[in-house]
Amino acid sequence: MPLSSSIATRLQFQHLGIREITADISPEALRFQVNPGKWSVFENVAHLAAYQPVFIDRLARLEREASPVFDRYIAESDPHFPAYLEKSPAELLACIDSDRALIRSTLDSPGEIFLEKTGSHSMYGLLTVREWTEFFLLHEAHHLFTIFRLVQGLKERQSPL
């Protein structure tokens, strides 16, 4: 059985919500920490961009290894994350788009055997490729909601009292 229509549709379109949610916000405002000490909209987008290559690598390991074990991803421990923080919002969105196309092609072509392969997450246990993909999408959705809330906070700061 291929990926469910729900997973396939979210893989194709969910990330596009970033553009819609942030459309009216300047690049400078995206970097403002609405909640001091917590990530800004920009940092959340950079995290999503930085995590996609990690997910691509995990898919590759799932394809070639028998039940690999993956540690929890922590952006601050990722040596590549700081480079994403140096990009512009437009560059981050371009990275997300190109990596998403790679993820989709990886998951569209392999067949049933690959989708049933498993790998262990240090926190969530043994997951199939289908479940890893659901986890990836739910993680992204969590950050989209966070981005939405932060954008609302930015808009509140800009509106007159």
Instruction: Output the pTM of the full model.
Output: 0.94
CATH superfamily to which 5-153 belongs: dinb family like domain (1.20.120.450)
- For 125-134, the pLDDT digits (tens) are 999 999 999 9
Query: How many beta carbons lie within 10 A of that of residue 118, not counting itself?
Result: 15
Low pLDDT (below 50) residues in the chain: 161
Contact 29, 151 (CB under 8 A): no
How do the domains of the chain map onto residue ranges?
A: 5-153
DSSP 31: T
Q: Please write the tens of the pLDDT for every residue from 79-104.
A: 999 999 999 999 999 999 999 999 99
Sign of CA pseudo-dihedral 54, 147, 34, 90: positive
Q: What pLDDT shows up at residue 117? A: 95
Order the strands of the 125-128 sheet from edge to edge: 69-70, 118-121, 125-128
Residue type, 109: S
Contacts of 56 (CB under 8 A, 6+ apart): 99, 102, 103, 106
Listed in order, strand segments (DSSP E) in the chain are 69-70, 118-121, 125-128
CB 126 within 8 A of CB 118: yes
Q: What is the structure's pLDDT at 158?
A: 77
- In angstroms, the CA 138 to CA 28 distance is 28
In order, the DSSP letters of 90-109 are HHHHHHHHHHHHHHHHHHHS
- Give the chain's mean pLDDT: 94
